Amino acid sequence: MRQGLGHDGSVFGPDSERHRLRTGFDYDPVAFDRTRPVCPEELFDDLVRLDHLVTGKRVVEVGAGTGQATLPLARRGLAVTAIELGPELAAVARTKLARFESVTVVTGAFEDWEPLGATFDAVVAFNSLHWVDPQLRYAKPARVLRSGGVLAVARCEWARPAEAQPFWRDVQEDYRAVGVEGDPPPPPEAIGPNHLPPEARDHFDEVAALRHPFAKEYSAGDYLANLGTQSVTRQLGGEARAEFLARVQARLRRLGWPNLTASFVGLLTVGRVIPPAGEAASGEP
């Protein structure tokens, strides 16, 4: 998820780069919690409806961060095991979710977590599944799900509508200045549903692929804080990162520290686990 040049989510290459970058979100958990976009409520409603997730259903969340998506799930009565790699992010999530007895926050990597014999009704991932080891990305969710269980993958894609503030066009110059190349975000209507990739189809049958355009308002300061939490910014070397943030800050200063309207498309993809050969999928309650 990025609002600068490039919008396909491919901000890393080799596995070593993926492992390095996925630990960077723990840097500033307060800014992360305050400024990262959260999928709209309608997307959570669709998730619950499509997955038949009534009160008490058991859910595993991959990469829970500060609990931004865990909270809407908990409010809907779900029993969530929220797994988060970053200890600082997990600490914020525990504080936020302390009033929900049905929520457990686990600090660690999803790849290392073991369900200890439990099975789950759903595995959900919000802006996080791409950080999981490709060998386990779909195989492990399939393993921990009950027969008929579902995988729900959601992400927020940055968009740039035709009527967007000029800032969103001009800030691309600051990305180019520090060597970030690629295309700017597309208009919302050009962002279609996100379908399960071929490597998922040995484990899941796609049930639905939906999209929800939405917007988030930022103060200039919160937008700068958000930039500091993003993968593309963390990927830059120290000097380049400082130069990039200084350039954007100077641009906002020249504009009088405006409020900014950021546009996104929330994408939800749901797949039902394929039962092992010879085993029929269970009916849904």
Mean pLDDT of 200-224: 97
Tokens of 232: 């593309």
Kindly list the structural domains of the chain, giving each domain's residue range(s) and its CATH number in brackets, ordered by start. Answer: 15-273 (3.40.50.150)
Given this model, what pLDDT does residue 183 score?
A: 82
User: How confident is residue 112, by pLDDT bands cut at 50, 70 and 90?
Assistant: very high
Do residues 70 and 82 lie in contact, with contact meaning Cβ atoms separated by under 8 Å? yes
Taking only the tens place, the pLDDT of each residue in 156-168 is: 999 999 999 999 9
Tokens standing for residue 243: 């130069």
**Beta pairing class for 260-273 and 145-159:** antiparallel
Q: Please tell me the predicted confidence (pLDDT) of residue 230.
A: 86
pLDDT average, residue stretch 259-281:
88
Question: Distance between CA atoms of 8 and 31, rounded to whole angstroms?
Answer: 24
**Is 2's pLDDT higher than 80?**
no
Total residue count of the chain as it appears in this document:
285
61 Cβ contact list (under 8 Å, min separation 6): 69, 70, 73, 80, 81, 82, 83, 123, 124, 125, 126
| Per-residue pLDDT tens over the stretch 43-98 | 999 999 998 999 999 999 999 999 999 999 999 999 999 999 999 999 999 999 99
pLDDT, tens digit, 9 for 90 and up, residues 115-150? 988 899 999 999 999 999 999 999 999 999 999 999
Q: Helix or strand or coil: residue 241?
A: helix
The string of pLDDT tens digits covering residues 17-46 is 666 667 667 678 899 899 999 999 999 999
Q: Model confidence at 280, in pLDDT bands (50, 70, 90)?
A: low
pLDDT at 172: 93
With CA atoms as reference, report the closest residue to 141 among 207, 90, 83.
83
Which whole number is the average pLDDT over 3-14?
Answer: 42
pLDDT digits (tens, 9 = 90+) for 168-206: 999 999 999 999 887 889 999 999 999 999 999 999 999
Average of per-residue pLDDT across 251-276: 96
pLDDT digits (tens, 9 = 90+) for 99-108: 999 999 999 9
pLDDT value at residue 279: 64
Q: If we measure between CA atoms, which residue out of 46, 34, 103, 40 comes closest to residue 75?
A: 103
